[in-house]
C-alpha cells in the first residue's frame, strides 16, 4: 500500500515570499492533517480535514496560512507571506476516518522549509 | 487542555542495554496514548498505542509501554536496544473523538556500540 506522499521535500525561500506544499494521502483515507514541526519541538496540528471539510483549524495562523482539500483527496498548504519563524518541517498525515480517537495517523516524510 | 511532557531531551544507551523513555500527560478524560518514532529525514511511524484494556501494550520492533493512570505516565521500554533504534521518539495524547493529537517535544535516543 502506498504511503502518504508529500512534495517538495525541501524548499528554501526569502522572507515575504510565498510557498505551497502538496500532500496526497493514503487512498481511501477520509481525514487529512497538516502539522508544523519546529526544530526541537514535537509536531503541532495546524489543520484537520474530514473529506473536504475543515474539522479543526484553531492553530492555523490564518493571516498568512491557508489550506484546501479539493474533492476530499489531495491537499495544499500555502504560506503567504513567509516569515523567518515559519522555518520548520511540514508534515502531512492521514487516517481512515478521523472520528474515533484510537485511529492511527500515517505520516508522510515531510517538507523541510527554510526561510531566509 | 491536553499536554505531554517528555522530561529527557537526549538519552544515550549502550547497544544491548535496556531502555526506558518517560512520558507524562495531562488530559481531563480518558486519554488515548501513542508512541511514534522518527528517523532522520523520515516521517513519524507508530510504535504502539493505548486506548483501553490491558495497561501493558506491545508494539512493533520489540517495544512496549505501560499506562499508569495514577502517575499520568505512559513510559516506553525495550529490553535490549539495537543500533538501528537510534532515532527521535515522540509521545502523544488524544481524546475519544476527533482524533486530535498533542505531541511531546521528543527524546533523542543515541545508541553507542
Please report whether residue A106 resides in a domain. no
Question: What does the pLDDT average to over A75-102?
Answer: 90
Q: How far is CA A56 from the centre of its chain?
A: 13
Please report whether residue A86 resides in a domain. yes
Residue of A nearest to B108 (CA): A40
Chain A residues in contact with B90 by the CB 8 A cut-off are 42-43
- With cut-offs at 50, 70 and 90, classify the pLDDT of residue A2: confident
Please report whether residue A114 resides in a domain. no
Nearest to A91 among B43, B51, B96 (CB): B43
**What total of structural domains would you count in chain A?**
1
Whether the bond between A8 and the residue before it is cis, its omega within 30 degrees of 0, is yes
Nearest to B43 among A31, A45, A110 (CB): A110
Round the average pLDDT of chain B to a whole number and report it.
92
Chain B residues in contact with A101 by the CB 8 A cut-off are 32, 51, 94-99
Q: Which residues touch B55 (CB under 8 Å, ≥6 apart)?
A: B66, B67, B68, B69
**What total of structural domains would you count in chain B?**
1
- With cut-offs at 50, 70 and 90, classify the pLDDT of residue B57: very high
Q: What is the pLDDT of residue A86?
A: 97
- With cut-offs at 50, 70 and 90, classify the pLDDT of residue B62: very high
Please report whether residue A16 resides in a domain. yes
Measure the CA angle with vertex B111, ends B24 and B63; round to 5°. 50
Q: What residue numbers bound the domain in which A51 lies?
A: 5-98
Residue of A nearest to B93 (CA): A101
Please report whether residue A19 resides in a domain. yes
* Record: contact B99-A99, CB cut-off 8 A: yes
Separation between Cα atoms, residue A78 and residue A64, nearest integer Å: 8
Separation between Cα atoms, residue A45 and residue A85, nearest integer Å: 16
Supply the CATH number for residue B51's domain: 2.60.40.10
Let me know: does A75 contact A92? Beta carbons within 8 Å.
yes
Question: What does the pLDDT average to over A2-13?
Answer: 95
pLDDT digits (tens, 9 = 90+) for A12-49: 999 999 999 999 999 999 999 999 999 989 999 999 99
Neighbours of B38 (CB within 10 A): 22
**CB-hemisphere CA count at 13 Å for A85?**
3
Q: What residue numbers bound the domain in which B49 lies?
A: 3-112
Residue of A nearest to B90 (CA): A42
Whose cell is 512534495? That residue is A7
Question: What does the pLDDT average to over B37-49?
Answer: 91
Whose cell is 491536553? That residue is B2
Supply the CATH number for residue A51's domain: 2.60.40.10
Nearest to B51 among A98, A101, A106 (CB): A101
Q: What is the pLDDT of residue A98?
A: 62
* Record: contact B44-A95, CB cut-off 8 A: no
Residue A64 confidence (pLDDT) above 80: yes
Question: What does the pLDDT average to over B16-27?
Answer: 96
Amino acid at each position: 500500500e502506498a504511503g502518504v506522499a508529500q512534495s517538495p521535500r525541501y524548499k528554501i525561500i526569502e522572507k515575504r515570499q510565498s510557498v505551497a506544499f502538496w500532500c496526497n494521502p493514503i487512498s481511501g483515507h477520509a481525514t487529512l492533517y497538516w502539522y508544523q514541526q519546529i526544530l526541537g519541538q514535537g509536531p503541532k496540528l495546524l489543520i484537520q480535514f474530514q473529506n473536504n471539510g475543515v474539522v479543526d483549524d484553531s492553530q492555523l495562523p490564518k493571516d498568512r496560512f491557508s489550506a484546501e482539500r479539493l474533492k476530499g483527496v489531495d491537499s495544499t498548504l500555502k504560506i503567504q507571506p513567509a516569515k523567518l519563524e515559519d522555518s520548520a518541517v511540514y508534515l502531512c498525515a492521514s487516517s481512515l476516518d478521523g472520528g474515533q480517537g484510537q485511529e492511527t495517523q500515517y505520516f508522510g516524510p515531510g517538507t523541510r522549509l527554510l526561510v531566509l | 487542555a491536553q499536554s505531554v511532557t517528555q522530561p529527557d531531551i537526549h538519552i544515550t544507551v549502550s547497544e544491548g542495554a535496556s531502555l526506558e523513555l518517560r512520558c507524562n500527560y495531562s488530559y481531563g478524560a480518558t486519554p488515548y496514548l501513542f508512541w511514534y518514532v522518527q528517523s532522520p529525514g523520515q516521517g513519524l511511524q507508530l510504535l504502539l498505542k493505548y486506548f483501553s484494556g490491558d495497561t501493558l501494550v506491545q508494539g512493533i520492533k520489540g517495544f512496549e509501554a505501560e499506562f499508569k493512570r495514577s502517575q499520568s505516565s505512559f513510559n516506553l521500554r525495550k529490553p535490549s536496544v539495537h543500533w538501528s533504534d537510534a532515532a527521535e521518539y515522540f509521545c502523544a495524547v488524544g481524546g475519544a473523538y476527533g482524533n486530535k493529537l498533542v505531541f511531546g517535544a521528543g527524546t533523542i535516543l543515541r545508541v553507542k556500540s
